[in-house]
Amino acid sequence: MLSLAARTLEQLSRAPLSIGPVRHGRIRSCEGGLVEVSGLPVPIGTLCRIEDGAGSTEHTAEVIGFRHGHSLMMLLGDTVLLEPDSLVRPEGTPGMVEVSEAFLGRAVDGCAMPIDGGGPVAASTRWPLAGRREGALERASVTLPFDSGVRAINALATMGVGQRMGIIAGSGVGKSVLIDMIAHGAEADVVVVGLIGERAREVSDFVARHLSGAEAARTAIVAVPADHAPNLRLRGCQFATALAEFFRAQGKRVLLIMDSLTRVAHAAREIALLTGEPGAARGYPPSALATITRLVERAGNAASTGGAITGLYTVLADGDDTNDPVVDTARAILDGHLVLSRELAQRGHYPAIDVPASLSRIMDDVVTREQLAASRAMRALIADYEGNRDLVLMGAYREGADPAVDRAMAMHGPIAAFLAQERAERSSLADSRAQLLSVMQDGD
């Protein structure tokens, strides 16, 4: 308790003293979650406190626009108990958040408030919530391989340090299990996880698994469950990325996991439609899809500090439609994608990575020619097996008709055993490469 009081007093002593007049406004209307406030012309992104007449209830709102001289705000919580003509006061610095290494080992929400039962997080470094825009030449090239700890990825879709990779799948195919394996087994100085729009139970389980033991010292979690306001969900993904940028500026290699990019797009769509922006591609306003691009582009290598953010973004394919606007936009901006197959999951094959449909655009630059040749050969065998599996099961294929298919059928067992991996198992880059070469040499 004394240490907490000491940290609080230290933060207050560093806070700038404002002797100017305190501005305030009044609520004029509240419709569909959109709050209109008069008398408070503050910048977009400003957080405000809304008090009732007695001052007993407080709400937090964020300015998302303005119209006819009135500020448009959206609550970070529910509109329950909100009263007309309530007093609204701005607080904090618009567009800035406080970050520090104290977030390691902690789980917080989109406003940096603890959700793990611990005390307030002591943070004093201010960082732009939307990031610091850099020139294209400020980003260093991806030249080093990234160890994800997952054998199928390390061997057949090798990632690079500073790459942005997507995990595309429908619901219930194993995205959460795969990111859990990567968060546990990847080589990184810091792991920042943004759980945006997920079920509260999954958030609780993830925090319990990763904020215990030695792993907690390098992990920070920002979680905003699905039942929270859309602007809080959007703020959560931006805050997680800002944390990753802070550690990258210190020269550290950061793994940023965002689950999921689709929920981020849904939150941006709700806000855009609320402010009157018309829907375009399947109901997604242009600004909602642009939010994905801006968020993903913040990851990557920093030429000035030598730090890196390796981004891993899950993308939910609604109805298993891989041509969904969010999936298509993410696939176009990311440096590669892993497609999870519902058919493989139904067979009990995990991780259910559809190898022929998955690729890493960085792989050619970070692996040896020997591994590249072996991975391409295995990809071809997997494609031949899957393409002719139904014919073989029906008895319509005769052995000897196609030597490539015969070899694919003969090697299916060893390849399937190579690709399958238990949740708690970890496979390093060197081990994955050696096992890949061994499987392909044994099949020759």
Residue 393's pLDDT is 78
The C-alpha atoms of residue 388 and residue 179 are separated, in whole angstroms, by 31
Task: Tell whether omega for the bond before 351 is within 30 degrees of 0, i.e. cis.
Answer: yes
What predicted TM-score, i.e. pTM, was given to this entire model? 0.90
CATH architecture under which domain 96-366 falls: 3-Layer(aba) Sandwich (3.40)
Q: Where in the chain is the domain with CATH 1.20.1270.330?
A: 370-442
pLDDT for residue 91: 87
The answer to whether 209 and 180 are in contact (CB under 8 A) is: yes
The pLDDT of residue 68 is 87
pLDDT in tens, 45-93: 899 999 876 556 688 899 988 888 899 999 888 777 788 888 999 988 8
Mean pLDDT of the chain: 88
Q: What's the mean pLDDT in 12-22? A: 55
Regarding beta strands 219-224 and 107-108, do their DSSP bridges make them parallel or antiparallel, or are they unpaired?
parallel
Q: Is the pLDDT of residue 403 over 80?
A: yes
Whether 342 contacts 170, CB under 8 Å = yes
All CATH 3.40.50.12240 domain ranges of the chain, comma separated, are 96-366
- Contact between 75 and 111 under an 8 Å Cβ cutoff? The reply is no
Band of pLDDT at residue 322, cut at 50, 70 and 90: confident
CATH 3.40.47.10 corresponds to the domain 21-90: no
Residue type, 227: D
Which CATH class name applies to 370-442?
mainly alpha
Whole-angstrom distance, CA of residue 170 vs CA of residue 245: 30
DSSP lists the bridge partners of residue 309 as 254, 300
Start-end of CATH 2.40.10.170 domains in the chain: 21-90
Among the listed residues 212, 209, 160, the one whose alpha carbon sits nearest the alpha carbon of residue 186: 160
